[in-house]
Amino acid sequence: MANDLFFFSKETYDEEGGIITIYFDNAATTSLDETILESYDAFVKEYYANAASVHTFGLRSAEFEEKARKQIASLLKWKEEEVIFTSGATESNNLAIKGVAFSYRSRGNHLITTKVEHASCLEAFRQLEQFGFEVTYLDVKSDGTIAYEDLENAIKENTILVSIMAVNNETGAIHDLTKIGKIIKKYPKIFFHSDITQAIGKIPLDLELVDLASMSLHKIHGFKGSGILLKRGFIELMPLLSGGGQEFGYRSGTNNVPFEVSAAKTIRLALLKQKENYQKVQKLRDLLWDGLKKIEGVTLNSTLNGSPYIVNFSVLKKASVVVEALSKKEIYVSTKSACSSKKSSLSYVLKAMGKEDKEAKNAIRVSFSDYSTSQEVELFLKELKEILNDIQ
């Protein structure tokens, strides 16, 4: 019964051929993998003791916590003590950005990011400006990526942090973390942070030259409220939370061991299927891309060089009306990032890419998961074309 109530079906049609749902808002969140839920249910019922307790029951929880940390470190090629469990990418981003800024203020007060970062990064930088930090917001090209020479030109003697996301959550634009890392490594005082939320488990990812990396696991069929910050061992962070000193003193609060164990399984499954899923989703993206190009009044904002999991396009009609009409047919897409969709109708990401106001206001984002199907893409294209023709 719980599954019937709370899970989106992974199929487009039921046995009678009726439409159930088409969920194309996976960049906002994905459905929970049922095997992860089953593992969580089994674990949480038996190992519920506080991992900080010194009795045998608590020590068992602590043992599972460290096993999960060790597995994640091995999967991502980091050290165990460099894996910090958090509540998600928003907390991880804030801890990385503010933690570095305040810990290394004696080195300098200049920070660099881009104009197209996730709101949890941009708002952290804006808050730091109120504390006297100087922030450079890099422009992006029409494809949504920075010009790497702009990054090098922005670096100053007092620069201490560069934060640039791996994959943009609105357009799927990909930044080359290795190329960025090579620029930054020429300056020993500067740390490199990246929000890898839309990249982890989806596209090939090289984190060798990255110093801090943030992620949320609900983007890859894990739990909401489950995240990780990867932090190199030589970096100190000022904690955001004061308390019992959990997570090596960087993140106080009672550890959610069942979520941590689930996080390890979530990452393992995503990486295990990454290549296969990428190839599948790339075919879906190409099918959608070709179909959108044939619809009058549609302008593609994403590029084929980006992540196939995200396709952004603009329409001549009011996007919110189109999205609502699609919702009535149980087809779910978004106008932009879920974290900023209720604030302004204008996409700051598209504006930074040089799009006109009418395009930035009327953008639609389709985002896939490995559960998405070609049947869903074809039906979406059919319904979208009809809706655009019907709206006056």
Residue 5 in this model has a pLDDT that exceeds 70: no
Q: DSSP 3-state assignment of 372?
A: coil
- CATH 3.40.640.10 occupies which residues in the chain? 36-271
Segment 245-264 shows an average pLDDT of 94
Q: Where does the pLDDT of residue 19 fall: very low under 50, low under 70, confident under 90, or very high at 90 and above? A: low
- Residue 145 scores a pLDDT above 90: yes
Which residues make up the CATH 3.90.1150.10 domain(s) of the chain? 2-24+274-390
Give the pLDDT confidence score for residue 344 in this predicted structure: 61
pLDDT of res. 341: 46
What kind and span of H or E run contains 365? strand 363-367
Domain 2-24+274-390 matching CATH 3.90.1150.10: the answer reads yes
Backbone angles phi, psi at 390, to 5 degrees: -80, -30
How many whole angstroms separate alpha carbon 113 and alpha carbon 93?
12
pLDDT number for residue 161 = 98
* 140 C-beta neighbours (distance < 10 Å), count: 22
Query: Is the confidence at residue 202, as pLDDT, over 70?
Result: yes
Highest mean pLDDT among 19-33, 303-317, 336-350: 303-317
Q: Do 155 and 136 meet the contact criterion of CB atoms below 8 Å apart?
A: no
Asked if the model's pLDDT at residue 250 lies above 90, the reply is yes
> How much is the pLDDT for 175?
98
The token pair that represents 81 in the structure block: 């003590």
Residue 350 has pLDDT above 60, yes or no: yes
- Residue 345 is predicted with a pLDDT of 76
- pLDDT above 90 as % of the chain: 91
Work out the mean pLDDT of the chain and round it to a whole number: 93
Token pair, residue 254, equals 């009672």
**Chain segment 256-288, per-residue pLDDT in tens:** 999 999 999 999 999 999 999 999 999 999 999
Would you give the DSSP letter of residue 208? T
The confidence score (pLDDT) of residue 337 equals 53
pLDDT at residue 343, as a whole number = 55
Band (59; pLDDT cuts 50, 70, 90): very high
CATH architecture, domain defined by 36-271: 3-Layer(aba) Sandwich (3.40)
Number of other CB atoms surrounding residue 253 within 10 Å: 14
Beta-strand pair 298-300/212-216: unpaired
Within 8 A by CB and 6+ apart from 245, the residues are: 252
Is the per-residue pLDDT at 367 higher than 70? yes
Q: What is the pLDDT of residues 293-335, one digit of tens each?
A: 999 999 999 999 999 999 999 999 999 999 999 999 999 999 9
User: Tell me, what amino acid is at 46?
Assistant: E
pLDDT of residue 7: 45
Other CB atoms closer than 10 Å to residue 220's CB: what's the count?
25
User: In the prediction, which pLDDT does 363 show?
Assistant: 97
Question: Is residue 124 scored above 80 in pLDDT?
Answer: yes
Is-contact 285 368, C-beta < 8 A? yes
343 alpha-carbon distance from chain centroid: 19
User: Alpha-carbon distance 159 to 146, whole Å?
Assistant: 18
Determine how β-strand 134-138 pairs with β-strand 298-300: unpaired
Q: Which residue type is seen at 107? A: R
Least confident of 3-7, 241-245, 302-306: 3-7
Q: Let me know: does 363 contact 323? Beta carbons within 8 Å.
A: no
Diameter of the chain measured on Cα atoms: 68
Query: And the tokens for 68?
Result: 């999960």
Hey, which residues are catalytic here?
339
Among 265, 257, 264, 255, CA closest to 45: 257
Please tell me whether residue 298 adopts helix, strand or coil conformation. strand
* Cross-strand partners of 363: 314
Average pLDDT over residues 116-121: 98
Quick one: pLDDT at residue 1?
37
For residue 14, name the pLDDT band (cuts at 50, 70, 90): low
